[in-house]
Amino acid sequence: LGADLSSMIHSLGIPRDNTRHRVLDTFQSPWAETSRSEVEPTFFIPD
Amino acid sequence: TSTERYYLVFTEWVRLLQRVTSDDKIIFVFIKQLMDKGVLSDSDNFIGFVKAALELSVYSFKESDPTGEVFTAIDALSKLLIKLFILQDFAGYSRQEYLNTVFSIILLVFSNDHEEDEATFNERPYFRLLSNFLCEWATLRGHNFIKVADQKTRKELLSFDAEFYNIFASYLHSFQPFAFPGFSFAWISLLSHRMFLPVMLRLPQKAGWEKLMLLLIDLLKFLNQYTIKGKISDAVSVVYKGTLRIFLGISNDVPQFLIENHYELMNNLPISYFQLKNVILSAIPLKMLVPNPFDSDLALENITECQNPPVVFYDPVSDIQALKKPVDNYLRIPSNSLLRTIINGLYLTEYDIKGGVGFDMLTTNNKLIRAIVLHVAVEAGLENGRTSSNAVFNTKSSYYQLLFDLIHDGTIELKFQVIQVMIEQLRYPNIHTRWFIYVLRDMFVTEAWEEQRTEVQEIILRSLLERVIVHNPHTWGVSVLFTQLLNSDEVNLLELDFINNIPEIKHMFVQL
Amino acid sequence: SNKAFKNPLFKKELKYWLASKKPLMQPYKEMPPKMVSQLESSLLNCPDSLDADSPYLYQVPLSNPHPTSIFFPSEPIRFTYPYEVIKSNQGNLNPNDKTHASHQSVEDIYSRTSLAKIFSKFDLDTLFFIFYHYQGTYDQFLAARELSQNRHWLFNKVDSCWYFREIEKLPPTINMSNTIPNNKREDSNSDEEESWRYFDYKKSWLARRCGPDFVYHEEGFEKL
């Protein structure tokens, strides 16, 4: 029967409302348990 | 020994990186000396050096205080390998060869470590090394490699970009859980790494999609192999959870990937994974607004998106093989002999053990059935665009006829397989969804089945029910068809024997 | 007998790599004990987000190291800010503070990270400090992002200073006569005044008004 995915979706950072937000660029780990801290995403610093 | 000398040189490098920034001139001097003084002057000593450096880094990780800096040496190694990648001449050999050599060395050292002593193997330093490559490359490639001063090098790196990721993916494929179970969780973390997965999804011309599919299929195959009814280990459950989370992330960021690759994903998805099936098939194109599927006045022919054929990344035609000619000929002119040929080709010569709901094995070729059904959908969609809806939304069309005949003449199992696969095509608003809603709704009410009618109705309802009974998400198309059947004037579901005779099912339908 | 297996560089390792191909071609129907144990060990050692973070090699230290309590972690901790908390703060803006005038946070991949959210609460002083003293870091990037995207400052490539364009609405001039020629009446900007400020990081560490001879040249500014 699967499971209620709302907490999993929330832990991913997917917004509850209708706004869209990319989540894979700041993806910490496949499991919430190993996502204790945020990770540094790609960024660019002009010279 | 030369290994010991390599240890010394590498240790110097690690120390150096703790004192100066990585773009300090000293770094360039050091690397130049590595090449000039014969440490990295040819491929043999390059292999020897990298091997020694990696072994030492892994050893250093294992010996370090776990609460302190455990990755100092590994971080320094990845920095060195990337620096070498940028700074070398590449006169006698290519960037590709260099990268393949580096990854091969890592794979060999890793294999030894993984196999030789299970008790001491730890996936983390290898994960860190590969993760660092991804981070370093991500920094390097920013704004089309604009930080690379030399124009020629910049151009080369830019054209090499997709290849870097595909080479990385190829090696990741070698590290998969079937081959190295002790690396499984690190492997899944690499596949979904923030500097790998979204990049692979977004490379121009979908250049990363094929390899990404290879990796996702590796994962699904592993899950499929070890999802045994009643006997799923905790570790496999955790793998499943991570997989589900990854697919949710992909569905949010790049739903188009799931949309275009759904066919191959369905081919490899474990048969009892209904929720993951729904997650994959529920993907909706990013900017599409979807009408309420529970609206009983929904007129699909008036929805613009329902005219559009969905893009398919992998053409199912390649999988139809020997049956392509009979199928295409049948679609031109239906005939009984062609039908016989096709149906006979759908049965397996050996049982396929599959832990399904209500069955433990299959005698029909699920993949071949899926390929044929999708092929029919693609052809029907094309014809709809070429001629008119009337040609295709027509029970006399050869598209409808083929599916009808397969169901009519097939065993119960074949009926079930064909119907299940048709229901997989009930996704977001598009021509395939619309067409299969039309076909399935007609098949549900038509009297043409004669004595098989109840059987077919039961299979259709069962197949729909197993998709809606699970927790969200549910696909738009399944919700639409299910609503239409519940509200149908032509058939009262509550009068059907197979619903009436089972209290739990009756209760469910009464509620619905 | 294959030549590769005789190569002293990797003959020892090659046989292990080759052994891994067998379960790849023919996966075990049921996991043998060794595989179960390896899988569980992998679960135990599962890399976490700290392992996946960008490698942090040597950075020129900001100042002399000072003693800190042993209870303070040496790594910066990036914690997760509850989304709801931040949302409620966005309403508390001083309407007179021009730098927050149009404080509509931009939505990008950084916007929901805790660091970016914290930066949105920093005052300008802090942002400039981070920008100039943490060069080449993610922190500098976030400071620049906050200054540019959310506070609408512009970065000048030539003098490496941040500039701010201020539009002040002047009080309407009371004109008793009705004889203003039409061509003058059509000037829609007549009740607005543009002024520029820049942050002087070199000397005074203050935002100063630009002189009257300041002319804005678009090409001199970084397109962030």
What was the pLDDT predicted at C64? 55
Tally A–B CB contacts below 8 A. Answer: 90
pLDDT tens digit sequence for C129-153: 999 999 989 999 999 999 999 999 9
What was the pLDDT predicted at C145? 97
* B326 domain-assigned: no
Cβ contact (<8 Å) for A5 and B197? no
Q: Which residue has the tokens 């001449």?
A: B89
Tokens for B501, please give them: 């005779």
pLDDT at C83 over 50: no
Q: In what order do the strands lie in the sheet with C192-200?
A: C154-155, C162-169, C192-200, C206-209
CB B22 within 8 A of CB C58: yes
Residue from the list A22, A36, A46 with its beta carbon closest to the beta carbon of C49: A36
Tokens for B92, please give them: 């006698």
First to last CA, chain B: 77
What was the pLDDT predicted at C157? 95
Nearest Cα to Cα of residue B72 among B24, B88, A44, B80? B80
Nearest Cα to Cα of residue C115 among C97, C93, C134, C139? C139
Cβ contact (<8 Å) for C20 and B111? yes
Tokens for B388, please give them: 């008119």
Residue B228 makes CB contacts below 8 A (sequence gap 6+) with B355, C30
Partner C, chain B 90-109, Cβ-Cβ below 8 Å = 105, 107-109
Number of domains in chain B: 1
What was the pLDDT predicted at C75? 55
Q: Rounded CA gap, B109 and B111, in Å?
A: 6
Cβ contact (<8 Å) for C48 and A39? no
Mean of pLDDT over chain C: 81
What was the pLDDT predicted at C63? 61
Residue of A nearest to C53 (CA): A39
What was the pLDDT predicted at B91? 83
CB B101 within 8 A of CB A5: no
Where on the phi/psi map is residue C60: left (φ > 0), alpha (ψ -120 to 50), or beta? beta
**Half-sphere exposure in the Cβ direction for C53 (13 Å, CA):** 19
What was the pLDDT predicted at C90? 41
* DSSP string for residues in B164-195: HHHHHHHHHHHT-TTT-GGGHHHHHHHHT-TT
Residue from the list A13, A37, A43 with its beta carbon closest to the beta carbon of C112: A13
Residue of A nearest to C45 (CA): A34
Buried b vs exposed e over B179-192: b needs ≥16 C-beta within 10 Å?
bbbbbbbbbbbbbb
Tally B–C CB contacts below 8 A. Answer: 136
- Residue B163 DSSP label: H
Burial class (CB in 10 A: 0-12, 13-18, 19+), C137: middle
Nearest Cα to Cα of residue B476 among B416, B442, B432, B512? B432
**Domain holding B93: CATH number?**
1.25.40.790
Q: What is the four-CA torsion angle of B185, B189, B191, B194, rounded to 10 degrees? A: 180
* B134 domain-assigned: yes
Is C87 part of the contact surface with chain A (CB cutoff 8 Å)?
no
Is A25 part of the contact surface with chain C (CB cutoff 8 Å)?
yes
Which residues in chain B touch residue C107, judged by CB atoms under 8 angstroms apart?
none
pLDDT tens digit sequence for C149-204: 999 999 999 999 999 999 888 887 666 655 555 444 444 556 788 899 999 999 99
- Residues of the domain holding B56: 2-147
Percentage, residues of chain A above pLDDT 90: 83
Q: Rounded CA gap, B10 and B73, in Å?
A: 9
Q: What is the four-CA torsion angle of C211, C216, C220, C222, rounded to 10 degrees? A: 100
Burial class (CB in 10 A: 0-12, 13-18, 19+), B153: middle
pLDDT at C2 over 90: no
- Residue B310 DSSP label: P
Q: Which residue has the tokens 């930066």?
A: C119
**Half-sphere exposure in the Cβ direction for C39 (13 Å, CA):** 20
Which residues in chain C touch residue B115, judged by CB atoms under 8 angstroms apart?
16, 19-20
* B315 domain-assigned: no
Q: Rounded CA gap, C175 and C29, in Å?
A: 93
Q: What is the pLDDT along chain B (512 residues), one digit of tens a residue?
A: 999 999 999 999 999 999 999 889 999 999 999 989 989 988 899 999 999 999 999 999 999 999 999 999 999 999 999 999 988 888 888 999 999 999 999 999 999 999 998 889 999 999 999 999 999 999 999 999 999 989 999 999 999 999 999 999 999 999 999 999 999 999 999 999 999 999 999 999 999 999 999 999 999 999 999 998 888 999 999 999 999 999 999 999 999 999 999 999 999 999 999 999 999 999 999 999 999 999 988 999 999 999 999 999 999 999 998 999 999 999 999 999 999 999 999 999 999 888 888 899 999 999 999 999 999 999 999 999 999 999 999 999 999 999 999 999 999 999 999 999 999 999 999 999 999 999 999 999 999 999 999 999 999 999 999 999 999 999 999 999 999 999 999 999 999 999 999 999 999 999 98
Cβ contact (<8 Å) for A4 and B274? no
Q: Rounded CA gap, C96 and C118, in Å?
A: 22
What was the pLDDT predicted at B390? 93
Is B71 part of the contact surface with chain C (CB cutoff 8 Å)?
yes
* B60 domain-assigned: yes
Q: Rounded CA gap, B170 and B190, in Å?
A: 13
User: Which amino acid is located at B186 in the chain?
Assistant: A
SS (H, E, C) chain C: CCHHHHCCCCHHHHHHHHHCHHHHHCCCCCCCHHHHHHHHHHHHCCCCCCCCCCCCCCCCCCCCCCCCCCCCCCCCCCCCCCHHHHHHHCCCCCCCCHHHCCCCCCCCCCCCCHHHHHHCCCCHHHHHHHHHHCCCCHHHHHHHHHHHHHCCCEEECCCCCEEEEEEEECCCCCCCCCCCCHHHHCCCCCCEEEEEEEEECCCCCEEEECCCCCCCCHHHECCC
Residue from the list B139, B198, B245 with its beta carbon closest to the beta carbon of A30: B245
For testing contact with chain B, the best of C5, C18, C38 (most B CBs within 10 A): C38
Cβ contact (<8 Å) for C109 and A26? yes
**Half-sphere exposure in the Cβ direction for C196 (13 Å, CA):** 16
CA angle C97, C101, C102 (to 5 degrees): 160
**In this predicted complex, what is the ipTM?**
0.94
Cβ contact (<8 Å) for B178 and C36? no
Cα–Cα distances in angstroms (integers) from residue B411 to residues B279, B365, B443, in the given order = 30, 13, 17
Burial class (CB in 10 A: 0-12, 13-18, 19+), B154: middle
Within 10 Å of residue A8's Cβ, how many Cβ atoms?
Answer: 16
User: Which amino acid is located at C52 in the chain?
Assistant: A
